[in-house]
Structure 1
Amino acid sequence: MRPQGVPEDHVKMKAFPFSLDGVAKDWLYFLPATITTWNQMKRLFLEKFFPASRTAAIRKEICGIRQLNGETLYEYWERFNKLCATCPQHQISEQLLIQYFYEGLTLMDRNMIDAASGGALMDKTPNAARQLISNMAANTQQFGFRGAVKGVNEMAIGAGSSSVCGVDNQRLENKINELTTMVRHLAIEQKQQANAASECPATVCGICSSEEHYTHSCPTLQETDANVSGIYTNQQQQYRLPQQ
């Protein structure tokens, strides 16, 4: 918690040394005493440990990231986030980050995410798209499992094609079961949210206990009003004074 009246940059300058270790801490120790502002400190630190060449290389890696063969959605999402964290000054917008991640997905996972988003993922806002991917990645970690890994003998030259096809079919079947489970859980969550949002107490008539109309629209009440009106009209006609 920042003390009242203390500038934020001053707090950063005081806390920054405690975040360093090893070579970075030695570098800070030999800095000249002329470094007195946070902007100066930040610029020198990035120039030392994040040179332009390294930043460009990481940006290129982020733009061209691809999901590996056999890599689950959760593993791909974690690898992507760790890559972005290694270069905090990549200056790539959130919209482009989601787009690069989406374009690197395998066809099956991309179709699964589009189905869960109710259309195309890129039609959502960056925050909504990130939340959807995070939820689906968490479901993959909780309910998913890897496909069968081929052994050395199965990959040997001259191995029977039936064995390879059998492993591929089993892997595909496992993947389909995994996707079905995740989509089912997402559908249940969305249905529960929709029910909670639309849930409201039923309208019950106070006269006949019907849920088809409100109390003031009850046919019984209208019939009673009509009868009373008719009696009142007859009484007026009976007691009306004769005209002179």
Structure 2
Amino acid sequence: MKEEASSDFAYRSEQSTNKEKKEIAHNTPTYMGDFARPIIEATNSAIVLPTAVHNYILKPNDANLLPLYHGMPNEDALNFVRDFCTQVQTFLLLNITEDQLKLKCFQYALKDRARSWSLSLPPNSITTWNEACEKFMLKYYPNHKTQELRAQIMEFTQGADEPFHEAWDRFQELLRQCPQHQLAPTMVNRFFYDGLGQTSQFIVDNTSGGNIARKTVEELNQIFQTLVESSQQKLVRGKRVEASAVSQNGDLQKQLSSIMREVQQLKMSKMEPPPIPMQSVQPCAICGDLSHGVDQCNRMGEYTPEGQAEVHSAQGFQSRPQYGQSYNQGKQNFNGGWRGQQPYAPQQNFSQ
């Protein structure tokens, strides 16, 4: 009877207190500025942490080592979860489990859009690390991404100039990004072999004895690993030889370039016509015209022998001795035929 009376009294007291609070709130005046003032409410996290985890103090240095996820489309959610788990494993555990520590640190690793997504989840809806990881992957690792990666695995093709070890690394990266591909190991090896180039397939066949169908998955993987190591070593040696050859032949390349330039200049000089020497243009000694010479003048038959001598002198000819004698001997008779005419006199002597 006493317990019932005490519980009834407590119930009535609680009701009376709530009633008083409502009356106080009702009698409190409301101002116009109250509608513009934001109401700050306590946000309940979707992650529920036990008391021991609440009391765990995460060191600032440890928190700075955590990988961050911002929820951007170009981020890899699967790689983030792997890096996150690897980093949390290095932290010290004090009276809590590793999954509990992951659950506590998970809130510090989400930023920007990812943080907003975690706050939008229903309060107290996540109690274990598996639940948090499942909801996160469902949000940021959709099903279509799995289909795209599975298609890339099945349609893998080696590049034209891609070495064997680089093709192998690229194929393994596809498998690592899609661990849920659900492909048998034999099919995985077959997809890689079919995607190789003809030369790489020939090398694999020779290494396996001519027929990979008689090899197990483990044996074929061992062959692939052997060829990867060989391809990588050959590439390194090739790069070193190439660098050495370039350093040794640097001077030879410069000399060759200089010779090529000289040959080009020689070709250009042969293609250019030789310069024509400038000759002094002399006018016609008969009429003084610059457009023709003496031998082309129309007035050639109009001048006297004296004029012809002057013309010859203007052209630079020297009179022969016999010409002078015969001319002097027949001068009397020659001049007699030109009586009554004015002897021809050249207009101007240009020989000076």
TM-score, with length taken from structure 1: 0.48
Higher Rg: 2
